[in-house]
Amino acid sequence: MGSMLTEATDPHCLRDGESAELLRGHPWRRFVVLGDSVAEGLCEPVEGYPDLQWADRIAAELRTVQPELAYLNLGRRGLRAYEVRAAQLAPALAFGPDLALVVCGGNDAFRPAYDPEAVDAELAEMITALRAAGADVITVGMFDVSHSPAVPAALRVGLGERMRRLSAHTAQMAERLGALHVHLTDHPAVADPSLYSSDGRHGSARSDAIATAETLRRLGAHLGAVAGPAT
């Protein structure tokens, strides 16, 4: 898979110095990631974009400000939301995080029998427990992979509806529970084939670069809101 763009020329990616400005003085020292293959990192390489996976890239950017940041990625491919909660919540809490990224539900939404209320309950339990432990929590409305050329045409409409429903439910839950939500589902580049891997399930290095930029921008907005307006 190729792209005419590179990260340096991609209008949706970080600009030189942007990450340092967004994260200046950030307070986080212990960053944990829970989730499925998106959290683990299975993006397909794209020339001109770094191979560093999304969550690893976020940790690296956080470490440019706080070099002693501890980072634990519990993400594992193939897990549904209840499996993420059952296997990862306890070790995540034991790690003592002050920042957590929770990304799951995609494997549920890939199934026609997707139960949004069941996924909501699992996400709510994880967000609530992590927030109660003192962590800021990031949730994600994922890119709508139904736009991938590798998804059979007959499956695209149904898959897209489920992915958008998952995204909407996650955004509503994040607002209700005080999480920081990163909305990628309606991103201007969402229909660009270069965002998706050849397996029809995952993203590319370009999608990870864009997701990194949007996540850091959300963290930066949160830091700005906490600090309040300059005087």
CATH number at residue 107: 3.40.50.1110
Classify burial at 183, counting beta carbons within 10 Å of its beta carbon; exposed 0-12, middle 13-18, buried 19 or more.
middle
Residue 116 domain flag: yes
3-state class of 75 per DSSP? coil
Residue 6 domain flag: no
pLDDT of 207: 93
Residue 7 domain flag: no
What does the block give as tokens for 89?
């919540």
Residue 2 domain flag: no
Q: What is the mean pLDDT of residues 62-77?
A: 97
Q: Is the pLDDT of residue 2 over 70?
A: no
User: Could you list the residue range(s) of the whole structural domain that residue 196 is in?
Assistant: 18-226
Residue, of 77 and 226, whose pLDDT is higher: 77
Residue 195 domain flag: yes
Q: Is the pLDDT of residue 230 over 70?
A: no
Q: What is the mean pLDDT of residues 205-211?
A: 94
Q: Please report how many Cα atoms fall inside a 13 Å half-sphere around the Cα of residue 48, on the Cβ side.
A: 14
Residue 88 domain flag: yes
Number of structural domains in the chain: 1
214, amino acid identity: E
Residue 4 domain flag: no
Element (DSSP H or E) covering residue 108: helix 106-109
Average pLDDT, the chain: 93
Residue 74 domain flag: yes
How far is it, in rounded angstroms, from Cα 184 to Cα 38?
13
How far is it, in rounded angstroms, from Cα 105 to Cα 35?
8
102, amino acid identity: V
Maximum distance among all Cα pairs of the chain, rounded to whole angstroms: 56
Query: Model-level pTM?
Result: 0.93
